[in-house]
Structure 1
Amino acid sequence: MRRQRICLLTLDFVGPIRNGGMGTAFLALAETLVAAGHEVTICYPSSYTENEPVTRWRRHYAKRGIDFVSLFLEGGEAELSLGAYHWLKTRDFDAIHFHEMRGIGYWITVAKRCGLAFARTRLVCQIHSPTFWHFAHSAQFITHSGELETDWMERRSAEGADLVTAPSRYILDVAAEMGWKLPSAQVMPNLLPSSFLGRAADPAPRPVEELVFFGRLEERKGLGLFCEAVTRLIRAGQAPARVTFLGKVGHMAGVHALAWIGAAAEAWPMPWTVVNDLDPHQAREYLAEPGRLAVIASRMENAPYVVLECLAAGLPLLAPDVGGIGELVAEADRARLLYPRNPASLAAALGRALTEGAAPGRAAITPEAAGRLWLDWHEALAPLTAPPVLSGQPLVSVCMAAFNRHGPLAHAIASIEAQDYPHLELILVDDASTDPAAQRFHAALAPRFAARGWTLLRNAENSWQGITRHRAAEAARGEFLLFMDDDNAAWPDEVSTFVTAARRSGADILTCQMQSFRGAGPPPRHRSARPIGWIPTGPNSALGVFRNGMGDANMFMRRTAWDRMGGFTLDRAYFEDWEFLQAAALAGLHIECLPEILYCYRIWEGAQTAAHDPDFLYRSYARAMRPALAALPEALRPALRLAVERELAGMQARREAYWQHAPHVTEAQGEVARLPPNSAEAMLAAARLALGQEHRATARLLAAQALRIAPGHPGALDLLSRIPEPPA
């Protein structure tokens, strides 16, 4: 057997997470691989724990031969996945397993596809519980745009893996129905941790007195179905001696599950209780007591461990014949253990168990056979060889527009001169700078550019960025174009990294992460480990309807892509990068966003003044929306506008994004705004506000207007009496 170095990248693992199904699957795989002599590392990016500190679990698993590494990261899916990539790229593993959930493996698949890392590492995605599948069977609506990003990262991480596994054929079919285009996919059974394995069970039926709902107390796990079936039993004169709800307490239709059960069980003649403090081992011991029957009632499942646990421990159970549950049960036992998921069928199955007793069932595959299958699968993975070395160095044209910022421009030019990629040219277009110092700086650049064969151009009049960038692109000779703003600065490997990624992946357009800094001074001397703030993830057109998640105007592309798209549109508004990338994605161009910081992005204090103008900002967002609207039939476009503009209106009300730069409304101004706009009271409140600001003449005029609206208004008369007439 070839000893392999294997990493399991997961946000769910037994220990910090109490009893998650994916965590159990990854623990069981780790134990099986270690027992066979492989070297196993758990990469747990998060700092989250449901019980003891994460450091305790590192010591716990070290004693069992498993290297448990927490990266102690916080943040959303993009941050956690990016942090995992940066840690993993410095290690050397034969294989990295990761689950699709929350897209934790997204960035490592991008990096491998683009030739940045993992050339000799197999990337294996295990599909367990896609977010939108989970939503669909939990009666849960999509509530914010971040969930669109999570869904997309999950899909792309699975599609970008070298191999895909799943514990049921059912969930692979679900992925196909959702439109996921998977590479080589194979059903591989979930394994059981060593602590789950029980003794051989007595196949004889056992008396049943207590019905135990086994699962989280929520609608997705079938709490409503179970309670309805028990109520039917009672009406039929077959009440059990006792009912127990074994699992964490959740919610039912927005109501606390304990309160919901209290209402549902109000007329039950027998006692019921909730047991929500047991770990998996204690739960199995509870179910093993005489007279108890485990009842699973889930709306939908992939390959639930509650079924596997009962089968392995020899515990009697009933489960719905939904999803992948049937694949877990031996064919000969399915008719006895599985029921059609409806209240009448479950009530009938419970009635038979109370009358005739219940016998344990057998698994479709034994734990030993499942373990052997996984080990043989790993053994069959041949070592990967490094990809061939790329030959040639295509010309890259850096296209830069400049206007009145000669200090930052000097840093931008210097960063291009410092590139480690030799075959490039810079085309700089001065957009009719009016500052004499900027004009002198541009004139002084002529001999420097001539010596390098670079191009220096000047517009006859100020033409905004769209026209200026087009002029730079028209003068470019390169196979690839890199657009760069005059106030940003490239790290020395920006061009070489983009060239490698484009040639390895075949991408038409590439974006990347950025390192932001403030002020007019020089850019940072040291590169950040990870970006702070905005993390674009790539060509997610669904997310792109609501916000730019694709990248900045500092983008790299093939000349053919620029020509096909016709370049940037020429509106005098923001979001030309957002609009271009969204249009390119919808046109089917291959876009990649790299997980590396390749340039520094300068933030100017007070630079968002144009965003204060409602018309300018409206036109900017309308511009970004155009590609999606154009892609829809005319009849559906108003619906898209409603969805997007409601989101924007909410952001405006919460003062998010560009609206955070809008003028602040004081408490006194807010008092004016709360009154009917054309009322005398509103005019009088505005007069008081002006008087408080020492604008006496304005206050008098406004109070007089209030008096015209409401003749004899006492408040207006009083205010006018306290404001002296201005001198003649």
Structure 2
Amino acid sequence: MPSPDFFYQRDRIDLAGQARSDLAFPGLGQAACTALPFRPLNICIITQDFVGPVLNGGIGTAYMYAARALSEAGHKVTVFYCSKSCVNETLEYWRDFYAKRHIEFIPADDIDVVLARGPMTSVMRLPYMALDWLKTREMEFDIVHVSEWSATGYLCLQAKCSGLHFQKTRFVVKCSSPLLWNRMGNAETIADVRSLSTMFMERRCVEMADYVICGSRYLLNWMVDQGYALPHGRTYVQPNVFPVGDIHIREGESRIVEVEELVFFGRLESRKGIHFFVDALVNLKADGFFDGRQVPRVTLLGKVRKTFKLAPLIERLQASLGIEVTVYQDKSQPAALDYLKAERGRVAVMPSLMDNSPFGVYECLAKAIPFVTSSAGGGRELIAEADWPDVVFEASPNGLACCLRSILENGCPLATASFDFEKSLSEWLQWHLWAADQPASERRAGPDGNLKKPLVSVCIAHHNRGALLRNALESVLKQTYRNLEIVIVDDGSTDGQSIKVLADIEKSAYSFPVSVVRQDNRYLGAVRNSGIAQAKGDYILFMDDDNEAKPEEVATFVKVAGHTEADVLTCCSDTFVGFRPDTEPDKSRRIIYQGENLAMALMLNPFGDSNCFVRREAVKRIGGFSEYYKVGMDDLEFFVRAYLSGLKIFMVPEALYWYRINQTRMRQSQYSRYAGRVRVLEPLTQGMQPEIANLLRYASGMCHEHGQTTGSAANPKGRIKEAGRRVVGHSAGLEKLARRVYHRLFNPQR
């Protein structure tokens, strides 16, 4: 099978350039068309949404049924619940509950490292938690299922594409509910760094997957429109799994149900059409439809989104219809279905503005629950086309009003599925055997594949930190990779200690060739360019003299470079305080980057640190580093130029070096705090229409002025609290004074 690495564009097609009629996604049965003998597989599902600790939700319901089906078929199933949240019973209860059903349910535990604080940490914690756990069971699983939602599997997939881990594991990404799609459906803006991070990683999860499975063509077409590079030949449309034993068809009963209660069934938010539901009923009342006719009971059955204001809608509905509206927000998935089935006259109404492959429709079809649903999204793909005129309505208040008028007058027909539940389950199970039987992705060497051990030049930037330079040099000399040369570029050091250290290095003999290049003080861009000019290696590892390489850094970079064909590699790092990394290990924090998320470059650096590994010819092709004196963000500007020039950039999800903090940085003295930001804007705005270029400049300025580059960027309350802490810090008596004022106002007797 083709490599899953999304860099290999010859294994993918750009579907965005095709006409919509040309987009054809096969079902799983078309891939696994040959029956294979059964063999038990070891299958893992990684999710933060699962029925039990989570009351309800489409992703959790789909994975719960999938786990059951796979387990009942004889496979070993492990569910890594990537969360500590439990709103129902306890996590120990659900561990025992699923164990009785032969499913290993493992709640998340603390990760083995402390992550550094920063604007990306909140979104990277979940993917890192999944990677941290999965690495402990690396050789165990044949297939791993994970949703693109929240990018839980991002770092796991990044680790596989790097060639470092999971080479024998097939990753199946379920397309469920991308954040951008959700925001568009709820008519919400993108106004925070975390959203940009999540949207990037969700798309990459789909693009890096070994296989992609989606319940609807609709969502895949949406992804194509948004520029996703879907895996060619490995992207499937298949209905979600539903155990045949849970299907209940009411034999001998009328297929027409007299409506006694309308139940809004779904999350209570704009995207699910709650406004349409209220408007349709209010309009029917205003048109006189209920004159002389009994108003049916109205129930809202679903969770309320935290930011959604439900109370005004309920008040409007009750005032218009003159009835009490019942709201159930805390029913679990089984309890919600029990409620719908308890009385035959209850009709589920699902007026979504956009939906992927709604599990509410699956459940109503399987349980013979009467329902109507909107034409928006992929819901109607699950319904037999002959039933569309009766149960599928146009996604508008008027469309829903016409549908409600019809079913209230004539009864609601029971719809039938467009697919056979039993056949779909059989195809799904057979496909797992087929997928596990495919050859694992083989490592493929890039252009340097004939160079088994390419020469690597380690270029160390130095300025007036002789003692630290010795440590940095020592860390390079301890590398497990031995085909190295070391180039130290001194940027005009003036202190006696540094000058002596440089002289001693030139006189000493080392296991690798070591050279010292001296130049006038010209700052970091010029330092790195001098290193490029002096280097003889096929690859260059750039280092600053205050950081230290871990022993496997170069070996790891060389391996990943050969596997990915990347031109520029970055990685994570571990921080340390003091003279050596082992001085205060309890203060170490891990810095995690995302990779080539260009959308975030206006606000912060998602690519990685200047401690990067580059192909020498590639970096020379784009002219090396730009040279500005005492202007920061040289690394971010370089990564942006490299990306826009077509170089392939990859972030290795491993901490390969030690990053020193609380020391004088080479970039501390700058002419302007805005200069680096302007520097990054230059390659971004080059060649753009002036108006668009100015829009980017404006956006960058607004982000910088309003704190969007800080760790609390997406948290206004956090910024307020931080400002308060600073005030208190500058005035030790302010808090005491505030207490006195409070007591004087509210406790006058004192």
For this structure pair, what is the TM-score category when the shorter chain's length is used for normalisation? 0.7 to 0.9
- For 2:414, the aligned partner's letter is P
Pairing 1:418–2:478 present: yes
1:524-572 deviation digits (Å, cap 9, x = unpaired): 38999x9836421101111112210100000001012210221111112
Q: 2:182 aligns with which of 134, 147, 172?
A: 134
Pairing 1:524–2:582 present: yes
- For 1:425, the aligned partner's letter is E
Pairing 1:370–2:424 present: yes
1:531 and 1:597 in contact (8 A); partners too = no
Instruction: Give the whole-Å Cα distance in 1 for the aligned partners of 2:643 and 2:384.
Output: 46
For 1:399, the equivalent position in structure 2 comes to 459
1:654-704 deviation digits (Å, cap 9, x = unpaired): 8979x9999x9868999xxxxxxxxxxxxxxxxxxxxxxxxxxxxxxxxxx
2:577 and 2:584 in contact (8 A); partners too = no
Q: 1:84 aligns with which of 117, 121, 130?
A: 130
Q: CA deviation at 1:609?
A: 9.3
Pairing 1:593–2:651 present: yes
Flag the 1:366–1:385 CA change in 2: closer, same or farther, 3 A: closer
Flag the 1:631–1:103 CA change in 2: closer, same or farther, 3 A: farther
Flag the 1:137–1:531 CA change in 2: closer, same or farther, 3 A: farther
Flag the 1:609–1:257 CA change in 2: closer, same or farther, 3 A: same
Q: CA deviation at 1:492?
A: 0.5
For 2:741, the equivalent position in structure 1 comes to none
Instruction: Give the whole-Å Cα distance in 2 for the aligned partners of 1:430 and 1:316.
Output: 77
For 1:14, the equivalent position in structure 2 comes to 51
SS in 2 for 1:648: helix
Flag the 1:608–1:492 CA change in 2: closer, same or farther, 3 A: closer
For 2:439, the equivalent position in structure 1 comes to 384
For 1:617, the equivalent position in structure 2 comes to 673
2:42 and 2:76 in contact (8 A); partners too = yes
Instruction: Give the whole-Å Cα distance in 1 for the aligned partners of 2:335 and 2:638.
Output: 57
1:219-263 deviation digits (Å, cap 9, x = unpaired): 2111111122112322333355333233235369x7621232202
Q: 2:84 aligns with which of 47, 51, 69?
A: 47
For 1:564, the equivalent position in structure 2 comes to 621
Q: CA deviation at 1:36?
A: 1.0
Pairing 1:513–2:563 present: no
- For 1:368, the aligned partner's letter is E
1:295 and 1:318 in contact (8 A); partners too = yes
Instruction: Give the whole-Å Cα distance in 2 for the aligned partners of 1:666 and 1:123.
Output: 50
For 1:213, the equivalent position in structure 2 comes to 264
For 1:581, the equivalent position in structure 2 comes to 639
Matches within 5 A, 1:439-478: 439-449=499-509, 452-459=512-519, 461-478=520-537
Pairing 1:639–2:695 present: yes
Flag the 1:213–1:450 CA change in 2: closer, same or farther, 3 A: closer
Instruction: Give the whole-Å Cα distance in 2 for the aligned partners of 1:375 and 1:24.
Output: 18
Q: CA deviation at 1:402?
A: 1.2
Matches within 5 A, 1:121-520: 121-183=169-231, 184-192=234-242, 196-201=246-251, 202-234=253-285, 235-238=287-290, 240-248=294-302, 250=304, 256-288=309-341, 289-381=343-435, 382-385=437-440, 387=442, 392-449=452-509, 452-459=512-519, 461-519=520-578
1:424-480 deviation digits (Å, cap 9, x = unpaired): 110012223222122111111123357632212222x32222222211211100000
- For 2:684, the aligned partner's letter is A
Deviates more, 1:190-199 or 1:137-146: 190-199
Matches within 5 A, 1:632-711: 632-651=688-707
Asked which structure has the greater RCO (Cα within 8 Å, sep 6+), the reply is 2
1:431 and 1:463 in contact (8 A); partners too = yes
Give TM-score, length-normalised by structure 1.
Answer: 0.86
**Higher Rg:** 1
1:79 and 1:535 in contact (8 A); partners too = no
Q: CA deviation at 1:631?
A: 5.2
2:267 and 2:305 in contact (8 A); partners too = no
SS in 2 for 1:472: helix
Flag the 1:199–1:264 CA change in 2: closer, same or farther, 3 A: closer
For 1:695, the equivalent position in structure 2 comes to none
SS in 1 for 2:580: coil
- For 1:602, the aligned partner's letter is R
For 2:70, the equivalent position in structure 1 comes to 33
2:126 and 2:152 in contact (8 A); partners too = yes
Matches within 5 A, 1:530-541: 532=589, 534-541=591-598
For 1:713, the equivalent position in structure 2 comes to none
1:242 and 1:272 in contact (8 A); partners too = no
- For 2:568, the aligned partner's letter is I
1:165 and 1:188 in contact (8 A); partners too = yes
Instruction: Give the whole-Å Cα distance in 2 for the aligned partners of 1:188 and 1:46.
Output: 27
Instruction: Give the whole-Å Cα distance in 2 for the aligned partners of 1:214 and 1:290.
Output: 15
2:570 and 2:613 in contact (8 A); partners too = yes
SS in 2 for 1:503: helix
Aligned-residue Cα RMSD (Å) equals 2.8
Q: CA deviation at 1:125?
A: 0.9
Pairing 1:547–2:599 present: no
2:622 and 2:642 in contact (8 A); partners too = yes
Tell me, which stretches of 5 or more residues in structure 2 are unaligned?
1-37, 112-120, 714-718, 732-750
Q: CA deviation at 1:588?
A: 1.8
1:52-93 deviation digits (Å, cap 9, x = unpaired): 332332222111111112223586331211221232133221
Instruction: Give the whole-Å Cα distance in 1 for the aligned partners of 2:722 and 2:663.
Output: 11
For 1:719, the equivalent position in structure 2 comes to none
Instruction: Give the whole-Å Cα distance in 1 for the aligned partners of 2:584 and 2:458.
Output: 23
- For 2:429, the aligned partner's letter is L
Aligned residues: 662
Tell me, which stretches of 5 or more residues in structure 1 are unaligned?
671-728
1:301 and 1:323 in contact (8 A); partners too = yes
Instruction: Give the whole-Å Cα distance in 2 for the aligned partners of 1:260 and 1:8.
Output: 38
1:25-74 deviation digits (Å, cap 9, x = unpaired): 11111111111111111122222223333233222211111111222358
1:397 and 1:480 in contact (8 A); partners too = yes
SS in 2 for 1:267: helix
Q: Percent identity?
A: 35
SS in 2 for 1:309: helix
1:481-521 deviation digits (Å, cap 9, x = unpaired): 000011111111000000000110000000000001112x1
Give TM-score, length-normalised by structure 2.
Answer: 0.83
For 2:17, the equivalent position in structure 1 comes to none
1:509 and 1:555 in contact (8 A); partners too = yes
For 2:105, the equivalent position in structure 1 comes to 68
Q: CA deviation at 1:348?
A: 2.1
Instruction: Give the whole-Å Cα distance in 1 for the aligned partners of 2:523 and 2:403.
Output: 73
Q: CA deviation at 1:404?
A: 1.6
Instruction: Give the whole-Å Cα distance in 1 for the aligned partners of 2:416 and 2:575.
Output: 59
